[in-house]
Amino acid sequence: MFPRVIVPLFVVGLMVYALADVWGAEEDERGGLPRWLWVLLIVLLPLLGPISWIVVRTTSRRSGADPASGPSSGGSRPTPPPRPPRPSPRRPSGPAAPDDDPEFLWLLEQAKRKREREDRRSQDATGDDAENN
């Protein structure tokens, strides 16, 4: 009874993982196949489809290139320029707090100096008026 439940659950879980991974993959990570074809392969070949997707995705991540455009393909397709790394969704790319941002701290310092200058000017102006009376 135990294997009859675990094996189908494993296969369904593998399919769901592969489908979600295909959906989030970029074009150059799909091994030269369109997204809809990967979805068909994963759904119609429940064990072979997800495993082949994982293998293709892993090799394209390791090589950093499209496996279909390798030296064995013989194609004259130009290789696309490398993409800049995407920021991680877990970490913000900028400062986490205002006091971590050097530009913000600089602007605060400039505003403080400006207020001090204006205070000195207003004190000088009121001091001059008192002397004139």
* Tokens standing for residue 106: 């600089």
Sequence spans of domains, the chain: 1-66, 94-133
Give the contacts of 14 (CB within 8 A, at least 6 positions apart). Answer: 47, 50, 51
Return left, alpha or beta for 32; rule: phi > 0 is left, psi -120 to 50 is alpha, else beta: left
**Quick one: what percent of the chain has pLDDT higher than 90?**
34
pLDDT score of 101: 81
Which one is predicted more confidently, 96 or 25?
25
pLDDT score of 15: 94
Give start and end residues of each alpha helix (H) in the chain.
2-24, 35-44, 48-63, 102-132
| 4 pLDDT tier (thresholds 50, 70, 90) | confident
**2-24 and 35-44 are packed helices; what angle lies between their axes, rounded to 10 degrees?**
180
On whether the CB atoms of residues 38 and 69 are closer than 8 A, the answer is no
Question: Tell me: the pLDDT tens digits for 17-63?
Answer: 999 999 888 888 888 889 999 999 999 998 999 999 999 988 887 77
